[in-house]
Amino acid sequence: MPSSTKNVKLGVCKLIYGGRDMGLTQGGVEVTVSTETHKVEVDQFGKSAINELIMGRTVAVKAPLAETTIRNMADTMPGSTLVTDGVTAKGTVTFAAAPAAGNTVTIGGVAFAFQVAKPTSVNQVKIGASTAESLANLVDAIGLAQLRQDLGGIRASVSGATSNILNIEVVDPGTAGNAVTLVATGGVASAATLTGGVNETKARVEVTSGVGVDLLSIAKSLRLHPVGKADNDFSDDFLIYQASTPGALTYAYKLDSERIFNVEFTGYPDPVSGKLFAAGDLLA
């Protein structure tokens, strides 16, 4: 591939953690990837390494968050509890029978279609051997759409005695979530839109010592998206599949400087796939 000045890149990025945009930053977001190796040595070659083996790889992101909000503190402080009078909008889709090819679930205008064949796009969902497996695949598809921000600010889960209920919830509280439409074929939606959202008027974060908190169990996806790229252009995205932070915030109250949350995220390999991070479009 010939050299091109177009490959020389500058610019800041959006920081999207668990599907929520963490807002403005100050000073730049830094990514560090480190690889530890073991050099193999034998007597016959002295100190000359005859091979080198990778022992492990780590990824970390330093992010100076300029929007020092209560919600950003809660999201980056393990062992904390967000106390708020706001309520998130929610909805469900109940499947009395297993999803069939052509059945769809549409959330906020984004349709997810079940099919027998292996998916080739973010909006396709493979039908599993059971209702539970099919809905688990749907949750994965919604998660991928959320990672790409085709469907932002939404989280999904499965419940029910036979894992036949899809739960949809808006990430942030507020009445805006009540406008998110919910339509299903092959299943019964709880209403035409998500319901129950109430605007937040006051909130606080209560923080414990955090002793014994399992950071992997609360890890979320962390995606860096260059602001110079269109929202639907994922060619230069950087994604950590499982990222968490111990909550070591440092900020100051000063007359002549902004209050900043200096947050450092650590990436962990996905327990199932072993993937640590990805760069570029996830649908490539």
Taking only the tens place, the pLDDT of each residue in 104-148 is 999 999 999 999 998 888 889 999 999 999 999 999 888 888 766
Residue 50, Cβ density class (10 Å: 0-12 exposed, 13-18 middle, ≥19 buried): exposed
* pTM metric for this prediction: 0.81
Task: Enter the tokens of residue 261.
Answer: 């949350």
pLDDT at 150 over 70: no
Contact 75, 222 (CB under 8 A): no
Instruction: Give alpha helix (H) positions in the chain.
Output: 70-75, 131-148
Q: What is the pLDDT of residue 172?
A: 87
| Cα gap 243→230, rounded to integer Å | 24
Mention the CATH class of domain 86-189: alpha beta
Query: For 82-105, how does the pLDDT look when each residue is reduced to its tens digit (9 = 90+)?
Result: 999 999 999 999 999 999 999 999
Please spell the DSSP secondary structure of 220-254, one letter per residue: EEEEEEETTS-TT--TT-EEEEEEE---------B
Going by C-alpha positions, the residue among 227, 253, 254 that lies closest to residue 24 is: 227
Contact 184, 106 (CB under 8 A): yes
Going by C-alpha positions, the residue among 182, 169, 189, 217 that lies closest to residue 20 is: 169
Task: Enter the tokens of residue 149.
Answer: 């921000």
Contact 187, 100 (CB under 8 A): no
pLDDT at 230 over 80: yes
Going by C-alpha positions, the residue among 97, 260, 272, 113 that lies closest to residue 184 is: 113
Confidence of residue 38 (pLDDT cuts 50, 70, 90): very high
Query: For 233-279, how does the pLDDT look when each residue is reduced to its tens digit (9 = 90+)?
Result: 888 999 999 999 998 777 778 888 888 899 999 999 988 889 999 99
| Cα gap 29→27, rounded to integer Å | 7
| Cα gap 264→256, rounded to integer Å | 24
Contact 201, 232 (CB under 8 A): no
Main-chain dihedrals φ then ψ at residue 161, nearest 5 degrees = -60, -35
Domain boundaries, the chain: 11-82+250-284, 86-189
Going by C-alpha positions, the residue among 169, 197, 235, 160 that lies closest to residue 6 is: 235
Neighbours of 226 (CB within 10 A): 17
Mean pLDDT of the chain: 90
Q: What is the pLDDT of residue 3?
A: 75
